[in-house]
Amino acid sequence: MLPQLAGEIRAFLVERVCAVGGHLGPNLGVVELTLALHRVFDSPRDALVFDTGHQAYVHKLLTGRQKGFVGLRQEDGLSGYPSRSESEHDLVANSHASTALSYADGLAKARQLAGEQDRCVVAVIGDGAMTGGLAWEGLNNIGAARERRVVVVLNDNGRSYAPTTGALSTHLRTLQKGGRAQTYRNVFTDLGFAYVGPVDGHNIAELEQELHRARQMDRPVVVHVKTVKGKGYGPAEQDEADHLHAVGVVDPVTGRAAVAALGTAGTSSPSPARSWTSVFAGALVEVAVRRPEVVAVTASMLRPTGLGIMAERFPERVFDVGIAEQHAVTSAAGMAMAGLHPVVAIYATFLNRALDQVLMDVALHRLPVTFVLDRAGITGPDGASHHGMWDLSVFSTVPGLQIAAPRDPVQLTELLDEAIALDGPTMLRIPKATASPGMEALARMDGIDILHRSSARSLDVLIVALGPLAAQALKAARELEEFGIGSTVTDPRWILPVNPALPALAARHRLVVSVEDNLRQGGAGTALLEACQDTGVTTPVVRLGLPHAFIEHAPRQQLLERYGLTAEAITNAVLVARSAPAPPSPMWASAPLAARAPSAATPPKTT
């Protein structure tokens, strides 16, 4: 009966996930393991914490959420990760890796204090997540408390996105080859754990036996489970790149995109509809060919961040450090000290975890490290934990860090070149989207691109658009002209710190509107407002950006519309601001803008 149920669950997952997109491979690999966990442990009385949460689809099915898979990762539908609002069985809304063991440590301490030591705490963590430093901090504390009942289930499939790297991976392979090695000394026993395994993660009877055994121990236990990512689904098992880790809408028979995807990251397709990631991938290789000091670093996201091509071309110059963002940044600092120029490619939401390293290990030493933040801004179906909406607010606090946002592929290549030429820390942010069509500048003024300019006698509104949102700003400018409102649309290119020419340009207009897919608080618009105040420019600044909230999952474009980052919203913001009571008179300048032809400008230096 149980093998039949496992097969039915796999068929259900393939059907539903292929229809709407989501994390397929990781969940196909934990079907039997999740069945066994729910048969041995009593959720929610026993705490089940999944790390990372993208392997929790089977858990959702077994806790009564089958109908919700129709709207998986869609607006008002089931989250792609555990969600406290969905079920009492989801303790942690967990989607950033390496956190489950620390949660488990805290839960176990609380239950010990409450005299509830008959309740188990179970942390399910993949071998990829175990490469993160926080996981080892958790192990260090759990293993030291011999009387607490914590079961660490190590789901070892040999990979996160790609095969796991480093000494831990080698150690786990050794344990697997050693067979049932409970009596052998290993890294976990040395840290104070009992060790059970390795266990066949697709044999439910064996899993139940060993999990029962672990449950009965009144001490911390590691249960080492061997699984196969994508198990039971031919296209996933045969996909050597990532075993269909995360998919869009795909053909369930072949596992291939239902509509041919263009410009996939890690390819060199010349398709005109390329992703931002693939544009960066090509641009980085071009720079690496010319500049031998350029190396690339990522945290277990080689292909998702576009480093696949460079890894194939220059394998000795690309370093995947595992899910260890803090280490990635400080290791890059060490390379920069030795004369290299590291390009650190990490998702925007994940670099938040390494703020201290960016601040104290890179910026304090004024080291030439370039950070490329993939998935910056609204990402869509992965929801609150994955929107890259914090980076400008967080990293604007770092002295000496210069941040750019390309509006189109040409600018991405140009800005990457400029970043690597600078002798200090730099950052580029790119969204999870199809790259914008080219937007040629009318002129470049002190490093700022002028994309649109109405009559010089009608300098009503200055629209400062960040990155790809320039396309919406240009559309808004045309709409405003229908209302008889003239405008200037600028792309600052280097957005932080604020170019001194931007407040001077603001002084020539009656209103400034900034547009960014980042928090309004502490973002680029706030920095511009402060720069205007510091220089005595009284032109009102309207800041359009994302609210100070955790934003739900929904398609990217839908969320941009909801939060006012469209041409229509920009136009409405201008109309509303113009109808408000007039502020004190700004400094006017009736002369035409003193612009010059575009050139390879260097961003302003910080002082």
Residue 592 has pLDDT above 90, yes or no: no
Q: What is the DSSP letter of 284?
A: H
> What's the pLDDT at 241?
66
Both tokens of residue 230?
């994508």
Average pLDDT over residues 92-114: 88
> What's the pLDDT at 600?
38
Residue 182 has pLDDT above 90, yes or no: no
Confidence band (pLDDT; 50, 70, 90) for 181? low
Residue 527 has pLDDT above 90, yes or no: yes
Cα dihedral 201, 207, 210, 211 sign: positive
Residue 296 has pLDDT above 90, yes or no: yes
Q: Give dist(CA 555, CA 487) in Å, integer.
A: 30
Residue 255 has pLDDT above 90, yes or no: no
Known binding residue 261? Answer is: no
pLDDT digits (tens, 9 = 90+) for 18-32: 888 888 888 898 999
**pTM (2 decimals)?**
0.83
pLDDT digits (tens, 9 = 90+) for 220-247: 999 999 998 888 787 777 776 666 777 7
Mean pLDDT of the chain: 87
Q: Which residue has the higher pLDDT, 253 or 581?
A: 253
Average pLDDT over residues 198-212: 94
Residue 363 has pLDDT above 60, yes or no: yes
> What's the pLDDT at 46?
94
Cα dihedral 391, 396, 400, 405 sign: positive
Catalytic residue among 229, 407, 453, 510: 229
Least confident of 440-449, 504-513, 545-554: 545-554
- Among 231, 146, 204, smallest CA distance to 3 is for 204
Average pLDDT over residues 474-499: 95
> What's the pLDDT at 325?
94
Known binding residue 95? Answer is: yes
Q: Give dist(CA 456, CA 309) in Å, integer.
A: 47
Known binding residue 446? Answer is: no
Least confident of 346-360, 512-526, 573-587: 573-587
| DSSP track, 198-265 | EEETT-HHHHHHHHHHHHH-SS-EEEEEE--TTTT-HHHHH-TTTSS-EESSB-TTT-SBSS--SS-T
Q: Which runs of consecutive H residues, i.e. helices, occur in 41-76?
A: 57-62
Confidence band (pLDDT; 50, 70, 90) for 257? confident
Q: Give dist(CA 269, CA 27) in Å, integer.
A: 30
Q: Give dist(CA 442, CA 357) in Å, integer.
A: 39
> What's the pLDDT at 31?
94
Look at phi and psi of residue 166 and say left if phi exceeds 0, alpha if psi is from -120 to 50, else beta. Answer: left
pLDDT digits (tens, 9 = 90+) for 371-383: 999 999 998 888 7
Q: What is the DSSP letter of 83?
A: -
Residue 134 has pLDDT above 60, yes or no: yes
67-72 long-range contacts (CB < 8 A, ≥24 apart) are: 69/12, 69/16, 69/17, 70/16, 70/20, 71/20, 72/16, 72/17, 72/20, 72/21, 72/22
Residue 546 has pLDDT above 50, yes or no: yes
Confidence band (pLDDT; 50, 70, 90) for 207? very high
Both tokens of residue 562?
């909801």
Active site residue 109: no
Residue 183 has pLDDT above 60, yes or no: no
Residue 588 has pLDDT above 80, yes or no: no
Catalytic residue among 353, 407, 493, 510: 353
> What's the pLDDT at 267?
36
Residue 603 has pLDDT above 80, yes or no: no
Which helix (H) or strand (E) covers residue 126, if one does? strand 121-126
Q: Give dist(CA 175, CA 222) in Å, integer.
A: 13
Residue 143 has pLDDT above 50, yes or no: yes
Domains identified in the chain and CATH numbers? 25-229 (3.40.50.970), 276-429 (3.40.50.970), 443-579 (3.40.50.920)
Known binding residue 181? Answer is: no
Q: Which residue has the higher pLDDT, 520 or 458?
A: 520
> What's the pLDDT at 259?
55
Residues 6+ positions from 503 with CB-CB distance below 8 Å: 528, 531, 532, 534, 535, 537
Which residue matches tokens 């049932």? 180
Known binding residue 577? Answer is: no
Active site residue 229: yes
Average pLDDT over residues 488-502: 96
Question: Which span out of 248-257, 534-543, 581-590 was modeled with the highest average pLDDT?
Answer: 534-543
Phi, psi of 582 (to 5 degrees): -70, 135
- Please report how many Cα atoms fall inside a 13 Å half-sphere around the Cα of residue 448, on the Cβ side: 29
Residue 40 has pLDDT above 80, yes or no: yes
Q: Are strands 448-453 and 443-445 parallel, antiparallel or unpaired?
A: antiparallel
Catalytic residue among 325, 414, 418, 516: 325
Residue 120 has pLDDT above 70, yes or no: yes
- Among 471, 477, 435, 424, smallest CA distance to 455 is for 477
Active site residue 543: no
Q: Are strands 494-496 and 121-126 parallel, antiparallel or unpaired?
A: unpaired
Known binding residue 127? Answer is: yes
Known binding residue 233? Answer is: yes
Confidence band (pLDDT; 50, 70, 90) for 74? confident
Which residue matches tokens 């629209």? 463
Residues above pLDDT 90, as percent of the chain: 61
Residue 457 has pLDDT above 80, yes or no: no
